[in-house]
Every structure is written in C-alpha cells, then in structure tokens.
C-alpha cells in the first residue's frame, strides 16, 4: 500500500507553516475453540487455503498534514530555583544508607511466577472436563496464557493461535451469528475453567464482537493472522496487506558526529518528573482476597482470603492487584513535598485498572477525569505532557483508526474527552491531532520540542489494525513532518509514548518504520520516554546499517502500580537546560520507590531514591554511546548485571532468580529498539552469555570433581 508524498517545508521556510499483553484471554479462547467435537471442522485447523472472503481496503479519508496548526510559541516559562544543584558524579551518603538497609532486608524467597490458573497436579482442586484432557496436553494452554500475559511468545502460543484462528474463521464462514459465536466462546471458557464464569462472560461480550467484526472483513490465513499478532515467535509470514513504508522528504541527512558532546557540568537544567502506569483501582479493598484466580484481585468481589497471608495489604499487594487510592494520594503528596522544583511532568498513560473483563467507557472516562483533576490540584502551574496508554480504551487495546467512524465503534468518545482534559496543560494548536489520533507536538522552550505519540497504533493486540495497518491515522508521516520542521528550525526533540517501540507488543512493520525515522533524525531526537512494561529499563537504537553506531536511547519508566511482584515507583530526570551549548540530553536520572512489604508491615510507606543512573553504573554521561558501553559491561560483568536486575525489578523482594536465558532476554530487550528482530540485534550478545554460562558450568563441574 502506498502513501502519497506530502509537501515538505523548504529549508528556508518558517517552521510555523504542529503489561504485558492484556488481551491474553481472547487468544486463549481462540486456542480452545479447536476442542469443539466437530469432526467436519477439523480440516480447517491448519488450512493453508485462504477463506473466500471479499477483502476490500477501507476507504482512507484525506488529511493534509501541513495544513494543521503547529505549536510555535514556547509553552514553558522557566522558574528560577535558587541554590538548586545536581551533583551527578558525587557520592550520596543518603543513597548508601538506604542501600545498606536494603541489603540487610530479608527477601521473600517463596514467590514465583504466577499462572492464570493453578496446577492440577499441585492439588488446586480443579478438574478439567474429560473431553479436553488430551487437547490441553497438546496445546499446553497454561503455557499459552503465561506467554501472552508476559508478552514472551514461543511456538507453543503460535500453534494454539493458528488452531484457534482456523476454527474461528470456519465457524464464521459456516453462518453462525455473532450471538452464537459469543455464547460458544463463553461456554468453552467456563467449561475449561480458564476463568470464572463472570470473567468469561465479560471478556466474550467485550472482545468477542470486535474480533468477529474484524475477522469477517479480512482475507488472512491463520498463519498470517498469528504472525501479525505474535510476531517473531510465530515465524515471519510475508503479508502484502501489512507491508508498507513511510516516505521521507528529499532532504539530505546532516553529517553525523563521531559522538555527542557531554553536557556541561553546572549548567542550567530542567528537573522532570516521569509517572507511568498508575492503574488506580477505585475498588481496591484492604483485607480482601489477593490470591484469587482472576486477572485482578484485591477487591470485595474477589471473595474472602483463604488464609491471613492471602489478604490484601493496606498500601497494595505484590500479587495481581492494582494501586489503592491511598497509595496514589501518598505518592503524589510525597512528590509535591520532596520535589518542589519540578519544571514539567511526563505522564505516559495507563490510568485504569486491570479489570479488563468488566470495564465500560463511562468508568474509564471517570478515572481519567478524576486523575487529571488530582494532578492539577497537586501540581498547580506545572506543565504536564501526557501520552495515551493501552488501558484507557474500553475494551482494552481497542483503538480503531480514523476511517472506522461508525458511531458505535468509533474511538472519538475517548479522543474528544482527552482533548478537553489535556487542554488544561496543552496549547490550542494540539486539538486537531489529539482528536484525530491522540498525538501532538508542543514547543516547550525555544529550540526544544516534545512530541507525544499514540503507540496504540503499533499495538499488535489492537485487532482493528488487521483491517489495515498502513500508518494508522497517518501518525508516522505526521511525525516525519514534525521532525523535518524541527530540523529546519534547529530544534531538539523529546519523544514520549506508552508502548516502547522495541517491545514485542509493537507491530514489526510499524516498529521498523519508526526505527528508520529515529535513524534519519538522530541529530534531532535526543531522548525518548515510555512506560507499559512496569519495569525500570531502557532501549537502544542503532544505525540500521552499522550496529557499532548507537544513535538513540529510550528511557522506560517504572510503574506506579505494583502489578505484579513489583514495588511502586517513579522517575526523576535532569535534562540539559537553556544555555548556548545545550544538548537537550538527559544529564542523569533517579528512580524512586516505596517498599511495599515494609509499608504493609509497619503501616506507613516511605518513598526513597533507589539509585541514580550515573553513580550506580559509573557512567560519565547518558549519551547513546554511554548506554551502549553499559550494555557491553552488563553482558560481561555478572555482578553489574545483578545490580541492574535488582533495579529492573525495583528491588522487589518477590523478584525471581535470573538464569542465563533470563539474562539474554533482558539484555536483548535493552538492545532491541526495533521489535521482533532479536536475531539481528542479539546473536552476538546471546553467544557471549552462552559462552560465559558454559564456562561457569564447566568450572563448577571441575571444582566438584576436585573436591571429591
């Protein structure tokens, strides 16, 4: 599918010319559909013959990018903070004291990765219906559920997806009504004890009709469908419907520097707060069951706890529970009191909780309004730059592109309200793009711009993209226009969003195009900021033709929600400020957390600085080259990696141990700013880790023989 080349501003013209996979249940339901005892349908399970559906390309509306208003007046008025300093390289005795206290903590070693249901062999009391016993063993649905929930896919999930997609397409072609299909999904979900009856019914009603609507209108085989949704865990099936390229203007790329300059010490800077993945749960109930068998617990509806240890804590819980109001209130009060000199805030989405089976548009809008009101009251006069998360829609992950404009399925109910709420902080010029696709561009200071992207248009759990994934809402083409205008105006840009572009939840074709854009405008984009994963991590970007040249860094901020096995947290960044030699790079960053175990034990939370990046990792700066050097050290230095792993989990006592496979995955996640392309980025890293692991094993074996 081709794009029309938009007109571009000439160099001499003025710039004024603007959590894991949350839909796991639908794929599991698709996986169990082949268990229908319908012998006549069996040939359709792995059919390579495409269903005979008349596929028509959705009508694309015309939207002229260069005619949209742009933010050209600086939006932030700097506030003078007397005696404010940032000691980037100095030691911090307060940090040392806290770290010493953390070392002396007694970790809870009983925690392990939790499944969506318990193991029958372990005596959980669940008995699966006899007619699916063999199918359960064949498809290994427990593994499927675990992989989808944690966005780590394998051939197990791929096989189940292909089988379920083939059967569901067959049932649609056989003439079953939407009501019959939804009832069938509900029945099988309930009969297989995948979830409680209410969760099965809610998910089938919320997601089933949307999925059926889309599948009726696409001409894709099960192989193509599952490759689209799962990515490199399900082969790389070529699909011409979902291959596209953005168009770059005919402007030469500026010569790249051998390395970026290190920001000047003692120069002015901006202090920036980053909050992500709040997942505020208005129905959280202290003392309720935290160990339920549903996607979200710690509510009165979760039932009574079986034991005292299964009761939800006062300030939150490490199990599948979101953030109680008192914790959100306490965190914001702490931030307002501790960081009185914040210049602006990055707010990267995911406000509603994980009760994905019974959410409504009205409830999600109420949470958005309440949270915005709270932020305005807690940080009066502080500019806030928000980005849209994947949980703000109802159902979750459902973000139809603009060409889906029917009243009952259009996304305008959300985007129109976001425009109203976000306008408390953003200029009038963003209205057009926010209402179109929930993205915008704002000039923060002269020579410094923030661009907020709607990363749900790269979300492979967004079923609407199966209809047409070609640059939804023309967002990436608009992004190029903004970056080119910024390059002409000698502006530096920070990009914010929710889903990191290198995460497995991001479509491969979208991520590939985004990666090209970052490479082309590496001299303009100086930092990126995301959330979604709930962990404390980062992603690297490299020249696509030279992996020895790092050209970008994405900071992935920790979640406020403890969901799950995590401590609540937030980030503070120090950004190179207004001066003649400014780089607009991040000078340093701090991660702050609250130890949930201690808060529940002593009845009161204490928020403290867990670490500062440069001091913890002994980095002279935070340029892409410095982060690349750190990646190499993490690969070769096990002690340093264990420190990173502790910070990655926000020092949670419930974190599992990390073996060689875990280490490869985490380091590869950092190295891969382009999704579903681990073979390209990670072969060398994985080989080194395998080699070190082999040496360690041989050393252990040799010492054992020697001691014997």
Q: DSSP string of 87-100? A: -SSS--HHHHHHHH
Do the annotations mark residue 48 as ligand-binding? no
Q: Which of 12-16, 56-60, 217-221, 691-695 has the lowest mean pLDDT?
A: 12-16
Q: State the Cα–Cα distance between residues 19 and 175, nearest whole angstrom.
A: 36
As a whole number, mean pLDDT of residues 52-67 equals 59
pLDDT at 40: 39
pLDDT at 258: 83
CA-closest candidate to residue 60, choices 389, 402, 377: 402
Do the annotations mark residue 187 as ligand-binding? no
**Tokens 């709040």 label which residue?**
278
* β-pair type (569-576, 269-275): antiparallel
pLDDT at 353: 97
pLDDT band with cut points at 50, 70 and 90 for residue 676: confident
Do the annotations mark residue 277 as ligand-binding? yes
Q: Residue 550 above 50 pLDDT?
A: yes
Q: Residue 41 above 80 pLDDT?
A: no
Most confident range, picked from 92-96, 102-106, 213-217, 379-383: 379-383
As a residue count, the chain comes to 708
Do the annotations mark residue 545 as ligand-binding? no
Strand, coil or helix: 305 = coil
Cα diameter, the chain = 79
As a whole number, mean pLDDT of residues 164-174 equals 85
Residues of the chain within CATH 3.60.21.10 domain(s) are: 269-284+322-691
Q: State the Cα–Cα distance between residues 407 and 355, nearest whole angstrom.
A: 25
**Tokens 């002593």 label which residue?**
602
Secondary structure (H, E, C), 478-530: HHHHHHHHHHHCCCEEEEECCCCCCCCCECHHHHHHHHHHHHHCCCCEEEEEE
As a whole number, mean pLDDT of residues 512-526 equals 97
CA-closest candidate to residue 314, choices 336, 293, 329: 329
DSSP element (H, E) containing 681: helix 678-707
Do the annotations mark residue 293 as ligand-binding? no
Which DSSP symbol is given to 60? P
pLDDT at 141: 57
As a whole number, mean pLDDT of residues 658-667 equals 94
Residues 6+ apart with CB under 8 A from 10: none
pLDDT band with cut points at 50, 70 and 90 for residue 101: very low
Cα 123 to chain centroid distance, Å, stands at 35
pLDDT at 105: 38
Q: How is domain 128-230 classified at the CATH fold level? A: 1.10.225
531 CB burial (10 A radius; 0-12, 13-18, 19+)? buried
Are 160 and 144 in contact by the 8 Å Cβ rule? The answer is yes
DSSP element (H, E) containing 426: none
Q: Residue 526 above 80 pLDDT?
A: yes
**pLDDT digit string, tens, across residues 225-235:** 888 888 777 87
Are 359 and 396 in contact by the 8 Å Cβ rule? The answer is yes
pLDDT band with cut points at 50, 70 and 90 for residue 222: confident
pLDDT at 614: 98
Q: Which of 102-106, 170-174, 346-350, 575-579 has the lowest mean pLDDT?
A: 102-106
pLDDT at 252: 96
The CATH code for residues 269-284+322-691 is 3.60.21.10
Residues of the chain within CATH 1.10.225 domain(s) are: 128-230
**pLDDT digit string, tens, across residues 140-166:** 555 566 666 666 665 667 777 787 788
Q: State the Cα–Cα distance between residues 252 and 11, nearest whole angstrom.
A: 11
Residues 6+ apart with CB under 8 A from 689: 635, 660, 663, 664, 667
**pLDDT digit string, tens, across residues 176-187:** 999 999 988 888
pLDDT at 435: 97
Strand, coil or helix: 32 = helix
pLDDT at 272: 98
Return mean pLDDT, the chain: 83
CA-closest candidate to residue 372, choices 298, 299, 322, 426: 426
Q: Residue 677 above 80 pLDDT?
A: yes
Q: Residue 42 above 80 pLDDT?
A: no
Q: Which of 140-149, 418-427, 540-549, 555-564 has the lowest mean pLDDT?
A: 140-149
Which one has a higher pLDDT value, 263 or 197? Answer: 263
Q: Residue 695 above 70 pLDDT?
A: no
pLDDT at 27: 52
Q: Residue 407 above 60 pLDDT?
A: yes
Secondary structure (H, E, C), 174-224: CCCCHHHHHHHHHHHHHHCCCCCHHHHHHHHHHHHHHHHHHHCCCCCCHHH
Q: Which of 363-372, 406-415, 490-499 has the lowest mean pLDDT?
A: 406-415
pLDDT band with cut points at 50, 70 and 90 for residue 5: very low
Q: What is the DSSP string of 656-669?
A: PP--HHHHHHHHHH
**pLDDT digit string, tens, across residues 597-645:** 999 999 999 999 999 999 999 999 999 999 999 999 999 999 999 999 9
**Tokens 């306490």 label which residue?**
330
pLDDT at 97: 52
Percent of the chain scoring above 90 in pLDDT: 61
Q: Which of 17-26, 81-90, 427-436 has the lowest mean pLDDT?
A: 17-26
> Residue 217 is encoded by which pair of tokens?
């209108």
Which one has a higher pLDDT value, 353 or 25? Answer: 353
Q: Residue 35 above 60 pLDDT?
A: no
Q: State the Cα–Cα distance between residues 33 and 132, nearest whole angstrom.
A: 11
DSSP element (H, E) containing 462: none
């Amino acid at each position: 599918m081709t794009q029309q080349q938009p007109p571009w501003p000439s160099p001499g013209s003025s710039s004024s010319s603007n959590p894991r996979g949350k839909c796991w249940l639908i794929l599991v339901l698709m996986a169990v559909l082949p268990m229908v005892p319908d012998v006549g349908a069996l040939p359709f399970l792995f059919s390579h013959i495409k269903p005979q559906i008349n596929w028509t390309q959705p009508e694309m509306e015309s939207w002229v990018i260069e005619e949209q208003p742009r933010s050209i007046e600086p939006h932030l008025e700097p506030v003078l903070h007397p005696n404010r300093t940032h000691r980037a390289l100095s030691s911090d005795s307060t940090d040392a004291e806290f770290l010493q206290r953390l070392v002396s903590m007694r970790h809870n070693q009983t925690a392990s990765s939790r499944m969506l249901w318990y193991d029958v062999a372990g005596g959980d009391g669940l008995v699966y219906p006899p007619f699916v016993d063999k199918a359960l063993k064949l498809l290994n649905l427990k593994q499927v559920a675990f992989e989808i929930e944690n966005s780590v896919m394998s051939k197990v999930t791929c096989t189940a997806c292909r089988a379920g997609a083939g059967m569901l397409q067959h049932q649609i072609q056989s003439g079953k009504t939407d009501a019959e299909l939804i009832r069938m999904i509900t029945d099988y979900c309930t009969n297989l004890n995948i979830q409680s009856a209410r969760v099965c019914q809610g998910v089938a009603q919320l997601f089933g009709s949307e999925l059926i609507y889309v599948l009726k209108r696409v001409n894709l085989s099960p192989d193509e469908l599952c490759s689209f949704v799962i990515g490199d865990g399900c082969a790389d099936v070529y699909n011409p419907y979902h291959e596209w390229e953005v168009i770059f203007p005919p402007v030469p790329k500026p010569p790249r520097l051998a390395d970026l300059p290190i920001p000047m010490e003692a120069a002015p800077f901006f202090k920036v707060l980053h909050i992500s993945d709040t997942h505020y749960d208005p129905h959280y109930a202290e003392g309720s069951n935290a160990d339920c068998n549903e996607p979200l617990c710690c509510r009165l509806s979760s039932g009574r706890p079986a034991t005292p240890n299964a009761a939800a804590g006062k300030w939150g819980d490490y199990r599948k529970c979101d953030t109680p109001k008192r914790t959100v209130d306490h965190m914001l009060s702490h931030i307002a009191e501790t960081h009185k000199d914040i210049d602006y805030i990055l707010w990267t989405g995911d406000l509603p909780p994980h009760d994905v089976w019974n959410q409504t548009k009205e409830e999600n809008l109420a949470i958005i309004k309440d949270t915005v009101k709270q932020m305005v009251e807690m940080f009066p006069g502080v500019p806030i730059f928000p980005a849209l998360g994947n949980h703000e829609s109802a159902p979750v992950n459902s973000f139809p592109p603009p060409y889906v404009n029917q009243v009952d399925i259009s996304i305008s109910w959300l985007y129109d309200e976001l425009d109203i709420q976000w306008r408390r902080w953003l200029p009038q010029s963003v209205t057009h793009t926010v209402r179109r696709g929930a993205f915008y561009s704002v000039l923060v200071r002269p020579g410094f711009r923030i661009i907020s992207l709607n990363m749900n248009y790269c979300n492979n759990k967004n079923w609407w993209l199966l209809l047409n994934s070609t640059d939804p809402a023309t967002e990436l083409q608009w992004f190029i226009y903004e970056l080119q205008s910024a390059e002409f105006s000698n502006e530096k840009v920070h990009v914010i969003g929710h889903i990191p572009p290198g995460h497995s939840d991001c479509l491969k074709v979208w991520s590939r195009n985004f990666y090209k854009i970052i490479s082309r405008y590496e001299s303009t984009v100086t930092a990126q900021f995301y959330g979604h994963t709930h962990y404390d991590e980062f992603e690297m970007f490299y020249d696509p033709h030279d992996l020895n040249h790092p050209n970008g860094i994405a900071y992935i901020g920790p979640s406020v929600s403890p969901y799950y096995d995590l401590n609540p947290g937030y980030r503070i960044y120090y950004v190179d400020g207004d001066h003649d030699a400014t780089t607009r790079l991040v000078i340093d960053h701090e991660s702050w957390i609250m130890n949930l175990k201690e808060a529940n034990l002593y009845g009161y939370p204490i928020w403290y600085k867990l670490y500062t990046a440069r001091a913890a990792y002994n980095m002279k700066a935070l340029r892409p080259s410095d982060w690349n050097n750190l990646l190499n050290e993490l690969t070769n230095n096990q002690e340093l990696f264990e420190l990173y792993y502790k910070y990655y989990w926000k020092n949670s006592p419930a974190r599992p141990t990390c073996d060689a496979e875990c280490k490869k995955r985490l380091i590869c996640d950092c190295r891969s700013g382009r999704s579903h392309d681990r073979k390209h980025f990670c072969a060398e890293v994985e080989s080194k880790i395998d080699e070190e692991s082999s040496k360690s094993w041989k050393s252990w074996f040799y010492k054992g023989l020697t001691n014997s």
